């Protein structure tokens, strides 16, 4: 139950990401850098304050956690760009095809397919996403590039989830989040400088939005997600994480007036149904041994 509550809190926090990105009024890569950089500034003192040991933090684990951070940088950077060029809800819905890639990555690592329940939930989720995209066909040409970025972000996020899920049984949550977040900040800084994106913060409102991204979405959201990955299978977590999309769409409707049509509402309800299908039996069966035990001892996402 603690893992499900942590994941629920993480989902609620991360659902604010698109809202804060819009309020930041900055290039997507730049706001993504500040998100991870501010989070790193908070996380490392927290790690030291809690006196977390180096148990399980081998050189290999260190570099694999860094690799997970690079993938997360790709996810948040590309997704931030997509949010600024398509609707907040649409970008979030499209980025939620990550479970497809989580299932494929898990199969590639373990040589075992995820459960039938996972694929059933995934089919429902993809059908719901399809309805949402279908409802937005009138913008298909103008938003196709941004929507494609959201899908690539989903691939990066899937890789991040798989790596984190593999490392969680041998690395403390706070240490793992701090390592991957710092690696993300460095990657995004290099990307922003290489692409000549401005890192100047426009005004006080932008600073508050960046603080929200760093503390609420990154520290709070991904601390909850990483904790859950230590107690729930990665495939299950990825499906339950789909509830971020309907929450984001509701927030965008309330704040930005991005109204949802009947197809989009139906699609959102199907995503919630997918989360219910995969989570229904996991309340009494939350340990991921059957999934993780089959994965070789490599650095985890």
How many structural domains are present in the chain? 1
Q: Please check whether residue 300 lies inside any domain of the structure.
A: no
Residue 236: how many CB atoms within 10 A of its CB?
29
| Torsion of Cα atoms, 165 then 69 then 242 then 244, to 10° | 130
Residue numbers of the chain with a pLDDT score lower than 70:
51-56, 86-104, 106-107, 109-114, 132-147, 235, 278-301
Residue 100 pLDDT? 66
Q: Is 86 left (phi over 0), alpha (psi -120 to 50) or beta?
A: beta
**What per-residue confidence (pLDDT) applies to 189?**
97
In the prediction, which pLDDT does 233 show?
77
Q: Which domain holds residue 20?
A: 2-50+57-292
Residue 186 lies in a domain: yes
- How far apart (Å, rounded) are the C-alpha atoms in residues 31 and 217? 12
Q: Is residue 252 part of a domain?
A: yes
pLDDT at 18: 86
CA distance linking residue 245 with residue 24, whole number of Å: 20
Quick check: is 298 in a domain? no
Report the C-alpha gap between 289 and 233 in whole angstroms.
8
Q: Which pLDDT score, from 0 to 100, does residue 27 have?
A: 92
Residue 36 is predicted with a pLDDT of 96
How far is Cα 227 from Cα 232, in angstroms, rounded to an integer? 9
In this prediction, residue 172 carries a pLDDT of: 79
pTM: 0.77
Let me know if residue 30 belongs to a domain: yes
80 in a domain, yes or no? yes
Q: What is the pLDDT at residue 127?
A: 82
Q: Is residue 157 part of a domain?
A: yes
Residue 94 region by backbone torsions, left for phi larger than 0, else alpha for psi between -120 and 50, else beta = alpha
Contact 20, 219 (CB under 8 A): no
| Phi–psi pair at 26, nearest 5 degrees | -135, 165
pLDDT at 288: 43
Cα–Cα distance measured from residue 274 to residue 184, given in angstroms and rounded to the nearest whole number: 30
* 22/273 Cα distance (integer angstroms): 29
Residue 195's pLDDT is what? Answer: 92
What is the maximum alpha-carbon separation in the chain? Answer: 54
pLDDT at 150: 76
């Amino acid at each position: 139950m603690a893992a499900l509550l942590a994941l629920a809190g993480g989902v609620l926090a991360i659902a604010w990401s698109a809202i804060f990105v819009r309020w930041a009024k900055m290039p997507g890569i730049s706001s993504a850098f500040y998100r991870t950089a501010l989070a790193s500034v908070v996380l490392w003192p927290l790690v030291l304050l809690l006196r977390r040991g180096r148990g399980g933090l081998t050189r290999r684990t260190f570099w694999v956690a860094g690799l997970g951070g690079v993938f997360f940088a790709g996810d948040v950077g590309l997704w931030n760009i997509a949010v600024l060029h398509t609707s907040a809800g649409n970008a979030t819905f499209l980025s939620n095809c990550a479970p497809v890639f989580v299932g494929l990555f898990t199969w590639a690592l373990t040589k075992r397919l995820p459960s039938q329940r996972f694929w059933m939930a995934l089919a429902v989720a993809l059908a719901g996403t399809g309805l949402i995209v279908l409802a937005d066909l009138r913008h298909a040409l103008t938003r196709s590039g941004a929507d494609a970025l959201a899908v690539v972000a989903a691939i990066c996020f899937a890789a991040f989830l798989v790596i984190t899920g593999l490392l969680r049984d041998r690395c403390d949550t706070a240490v793992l989040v701090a390592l991957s977040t710092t690696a993300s900040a460095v990657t995004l800084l290099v990307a922003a400088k290489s692409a000549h994106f401005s890192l100047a913060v426009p005004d006080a409102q932008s600073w508050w939005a960046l603080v929200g991204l760093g503390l609420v979405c990154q520290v709070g959201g991904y601390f909850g997600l990483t904790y859950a990955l230590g107690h729930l299978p990665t495939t299950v977590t990825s499906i339950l994480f789909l509830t971020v999309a309907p929450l984001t769409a509701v927030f965008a409707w309330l704040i930005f007036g991005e109204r949802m049509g009947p197809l989009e509402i139906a699609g959102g309800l199907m995503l919630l149904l997918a989360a219910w299908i995969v989570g229904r039996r996991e309340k009494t069966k939350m340990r991921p041994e059957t999934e993780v035990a089959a994965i070789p001892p490599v650095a985890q996402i």
